[in-house]
Chains A and B, each alone.
Chain A
Amino acid sequence: MLDNTSSLFGIDAQVAGQTTVDEEDVMIIAASGLFDEAWYIKENPDVARSGLNPLFHYVRFGASEGRVPLKGFNAARYVANMEQRNPVTRNPLAHFVLHGGPDDLLSKGLLTGFSTAAIKMAMDRLNAMPIFKADEYIALNEDIKTRGGHLDVDPLNHALVYGFPEGRSVFLQTTVARVMGAAGAMAFATRPEPRSTKRLPQLPPVGVYYNTEGNAFIREIAEDFVATLRESGQDAMLLDQTAPKDSRRPVCVFVAPHEFFHIGDGRHWGREDILKTAFLFTTEQPQTMWFDRAMPYILMARGIIDIAWQVTSIFREADIPTLFLNPNIRPCDRWLHDEDLQHPLIRVLPKPAQVLEAPMAPCAARPIDISFFGTESEHREKFFTKNAPFFADYNSFLYYRKVESPLVAKGAHAALSRVAGHVGAYSKIALNIHRDSNGFFEWHRIAKLGMVTGAVVVSEPCPPHPVFKPGTHYLEESGRHILNLIEWLLKTEDGRRHAQSVQDNANAVVRNRDIAVRNSHALAAFIHEHAVPPDEH
């Protein structure tokens, strides 16, 4: 390297002497040993032909012509990254040697509003997630290789700053399934239990934010989250995306980030200064595009509270402070607002169900045999097509919706979560058909709309849950054989007895205040442990 530099002084003294900054840059770069002369010549055959010293060529001409001094050094990106902190006024590689570090070379891609430090942290977390594998990301996104098949982008960096924002496939589906399967196979005894709370902390005021333009069920989940915090005496308030950002509450929890940060005013909340102290209550299944949409925010957040046990293990492995939480449930004997009696779905219910009250009735006394609420998917389409003749023989309420986007739930649909609860309370069986062939414990449908309403949940097989057990609190069977189970529950003496015992068992959990109190304490303790004190915001 030094030989190359000294030879510089052997070439045209007039050119070399034009500017001392150039000379200085050459010395700095040469001393760093970073300049890859052989590679530079290979990439730029005209330099070899010119007879100029390659490093001198780079400093004097190459840099301004956009030539790359060593593999992976993206000068434009470096200059952009340094603009705020230490503007580049000399040769970028020389500047890098003097002032830069590897993180300053990271691409911010479409996440322009974030610091390189935040990008770096997010990349470290993503890299540690067991569902992310750089080689799989490349295999899923062949186009990020340059034409010769030579990869000059860092797949980890690319996945974060382009992959998620561009809606690319980032995680290989079989890997997601394998990780979820492995998490599901772990015995609960060996799983980390939530910290026991010695003394219940008093948290600063908590704001629980949901997006009013999102899914109607998410509002309900956000309300339940607030109620869970209040159960332990915390000051928690339900807020939405229209609340002022600069006077936000000291502790912010954003519910369903996959929609919160993507709709309307919610888009302006995805800022580094907000996220780095925020908690996200995540509800999505990891095999979905919705999960991927939430990822940049998850990776930037202070901590994650997730609704599914198996998913929390994915975040924990990435060293993200994570808590598993199902909001508290409690008995409810009225779901509807007064005006809901005029809702078109209520007006088609059996007459005895067209009332405001929804008292807990034994299975046998319920007028609807089977109810289902869910949006369309290929898997559900197949299920209901195949089994339509079966359900046609029963008093069913199958609200299987075909909508353009699962996010939009306005107008008549805003009442949908209340209608679903009310219908559940008049149903013997609440059916749970998964969105796809990946199993997931759909807490909202199983616990909130099923167990709380006293409908016996009949589900396709779910991953294990620490509290709710199949055969005891709900029943499970493969989609193909679920008809046998339903028929048995409704038409045989043994089945009817069993259904009633499942309702009783589920009801006991719903009324168990001890579980609810422990749940609330675990949540308060988690936020207390990980919240950033206001003076450090």
Chain B
Amino acid sequence: MSIEKPWTPRAELVFEAVQNTKPPADLISVCVTVFNYEEFLPDCLGSIAAQTYKNLELIIVDDKSARDNSLAAAIAWAEQNTARFHRVCVLTHPRNQGPAAARNSAFLRATGEAVFIIDADNEVYPRCIARLAAAMQDGDFDATYTQLEHFGDERKIGSADLWDPMVMAYENYVDVMGLIKKSAWEQVNGFSHIEEGWEDYDFWLKFIDAGLVPGYVPEILCRYRVHGKSRTRTDAHAAHEKLRVIMAYRYPFEPVAP
């Protein structure tokens, strides 16, 4: 099944600014997905603008935020920062579609060969994209990711580690905040919506099925915000078990050891 079905609602382009120059060959697209994260949006976008990597395209997707003015804030920020990017655009969904569909909307309109994915409540350190791009190119990987620093209501280091399909089959330890080749995203048919969450895990399991290989950059360059208002432990545990069941059904076979 294709990523866009006849009934998939087209994201609406509400803002676009393109430099009047030839698209750079090394252009990287940055996909920022927003859902009710107006308060965090300036810090996230600021951390992207501060990247040492020069040629960037910024695609902000608002997934029909309803509790704040995320969309207006995104447009306002984009208007003021057009000079930093080769192209800036803001998209919005006619109806809330979930993070998988929001990312797919960004990928569909991305013109770079690779897309860096980040949710609007997270941040990156200035060298992040440059480092991931170099590793992708030099190491010939289909995706690259770094270690995370958790911040906000909990401070600790993330669980990222070397890519290992056997370990991934048991537990996801790789956040999807990373650089993904557009061709790899196409090959796995984009992100799939998983009703209870975990579309990032699902995306990586599709990578494994497709024989694609991400590379781990052992530097702490991505910042992951932990929200205090997150669910109770019991709720989280119940949801976790439900997701395990969903994943067991979708990926019943153990990966073959390389």
Chain A positions near chain B (C-beta within 8 angstroms) = 173-182, 184-185, 287, 437-439, 477-481, 483-485, 487-489, 494-495, 498
Contacts and interface: CB of A to CB of B under 8 A. Distances in A.
A180 B244 CA distance: 14
Given A437-B195, A437-B196, A495-B7, A483 B95 contact: yes
A175 B245 CA distance: 8
A389 to B, nearest CB: 10
Contacts of A175: 248
Most buried by A among B5, B98, B249, B251: B249
B195 A484 contact: no
B190 to A, nearest CB: 13
Nearest to A471: B1
Given A173-B245, A480-B97, A181 B250 contact: yes
B258 interface: no
Contact of B246 (A182, A437, A483, A495): A437
Contacts of A495: 6-7
A178 B252 contact: yes
B249 A177 contact: yes
Nearest to A495: B7
24 contacts: A174-B241, A177-B245, A177-B246, A177-B248, A178-B249, A180-B249, A180-B252, A181-B250, A182-B252, A182-B253, A184-B252, A287-B245, A437-B195, A438-B245, A478-B192, A479-B195, A480-B97, A480-B195, A481-B8, A484-B8, A484-B9, A484-B95, A485-B7, A495-B6
Per DSSP, chain A at the interface is helix
B54 interface: no
Interface of B: 5-9, 95, 97-98, 101, 192-196, 241-242, 244-246, 248-253
Contacts of A287: 245
A485 B7 CA distance: 5
A481 B249 contact: no
Per DSSP, chain B at the interface is loop
Nearest to B8: A484
A44 B97 CA distance: 67
A493 to B, nearest CB: 11
Given A173-B241, A174-B244, A437-B245, A181 B6 contact: no
Contacts of A494: 6
Most buried by B among A180, A184, A480, A487: A480
Contacts of B192: 478
B169 to A, nearest CB: 11
A489 B5 CA distance: 12
A356 B134 CA distance: 72
Contacts of B98: 480
Nearest to A489: B7
Given A478-B192, A488-B6, A489-B7, 19 more contacts: A173-B241, A173-B245, A176-B245, A177-B249, A177-B252, A184-B252, A185-B252, A185-B253, A437-B242, A437-B246, A438-B249, A477-B5, A478-B193, A478-B195, A480-B101, A480-B193, A480-B195, A495-B6, A495-B7
Contacts of A180: 249, 252
Contact of B7 (A176, A177, A488): A488
A480 B6 CA distance: 16
Given A173-B241, A481-B193, A483-B95, A181 B7 contact: no
Contact of A181 (B194, B242, B244, B251): B251
A303 to B, nearest CB: 27
Contacts of B244: 173-174
Nearest to A483: B95
B46 to A, nearest CB: 31
Nearest to B242: A437
Nearest to A382: B195
Contacts of B95: 483-484
B201 to A, nearest CB: 14
